[in-house]
Chains A and B, each alone.
Chain A
Amino acid sequence: MAKEFIKGNEAIVKAALLAGCRSYYGYPITPASEIAHAAAKYFPRVSRTFLQAESEIASIQMVYGASASGERTMTASSGPGISLKQEGLSYLAGSELPCVVVNIMRGGPGLGNISPAQGDYNQIVKGGGHGDYKVIVLAPNGAQEMCDLTMLAFDLADKWRNPVILLADGFIGQMMEPVEFPAPVGDLPAKPWALTGEKISRNNLINSIYLDNDELEAHVGHLAEKYARITEAEVRFEAYHADDAELVLVGYGIVSRIIRTVVDQAREAGLKVGLLRPITLFPFPTRKIGELCESAAGFLAVEMSTGQMVDDVRLAVNGRLPVHFFSRTGGNVPTVEEIFDVVRQHLSAAQPV
Chain B
Amino acid sequence: MAKLILEKPKGFCDSYERKPGDHGTTHYCPGCGHGNIHKLLAEAVEDLGIQDRTIIISPVGCSVFVYYYFATGNIQVAHGRAPAVATALKRANPHAIVVSYQGDGDLAAIGGNNILQAANRGEHITVIFVNNAIYGMTGGQLAPTSLLGMKTATTPYGRDLLNEGPPMKVVELLSSLDGPTYLERQAIMGNKYIARARKALRNALQCQIDGKGFSMVEILSACPSGWKVDPTDSYAWMEKNMLPHFQLGVTKDVRAEREPFFRTFKTLSAAEIVEQLDLAVPEPKHFPSKLQKTGYGDPSIKLAGFGGQGILSAGAMLANAGMEQGLQTSWIPSYGPEMRGGTAYCFVNLSERPIGSPTVSHPDVLMAFNRPSLEKFEPDVKPGGLLMYDSTIIDVKPKRGDIEILAVPATQMADDLGNTRMANTIMVGVYVAHTGIMSPAAIEQTLPLAIKRKNLVDANKKALRAGVDFAATL
Contact = CB atoms under 8 A, between A and B. Distances in A.
Nearest to B123: A51
A195 B89 contact: yes
Contact of B268 (A46, A51, A62, A64): A46
Interface in B69-118: 71-78, 81, 84-89, 91-93, 95-98, 113-114, 116-117
B92 A2 contact: no
A211 B58 CA distance: 15
A134 interface: no
Interface string A28-63: 001100000000001001111101011101110111
A54 B266 contact: no
Contacts of B290: none
A43 B336 CA distance: 26
B34 to A, nearest CB: 17
A159 interface: no
Interface in B318-348: 319-320, 323, 328-333, 335-337
Interface string B440-472: 000000000100000000000000000000000
A196 B265 contact: no
B391 to A, nearest CB: 29
B357 A258 contact: yes
A176 B322 CA distance: 12
A115 B334 CA distance: 9
Contacts of B356: 257-262, 264, 336
B113 A54 contact: yes
Interface stretch (A68-76, A227-235, A287-295, A312-320): A68-76
Contact of A62 (B87, B280, B333): B87
Given A30-B336, A114-B335, A64 B88 contact: yes
Contacts of A58: 81, 84, 113-114, 117
B93 A69 contact: yes
B88 A57 contact: no
Interface size class of B (residues with CB under 8 A): 35 or more
B1 interface: no
Interface size class of A (residues with CB under 8 A): 35 or more
A327 to B, nearest CB: 16
Interface stretch (A160-168, A197-205, A217-225): A197-205
30 contacts: A4-B281, A23-B88, A31-B335, A45-B276, A51-B91, A58-B113, A61-B114, A64-B77, A64-B78, A65-B75, A68-B89, A69-B89, A88-B78, A114-B335, A115-B336, A171-B359, A195-B73, A195-B75, A195-B96, A197-B96, A202-B72, A202-B73, A206-B75, A208-B76, A209-B64, A257-B355, A258-B357, A261-B357, A336-B357, A337-B361
Interchain residue pairs A-B with the least CB separation, the first 7: A197-B96, A65-B88, A261-B356, A69-B92, A2-B279, A61-B84, A65-B85
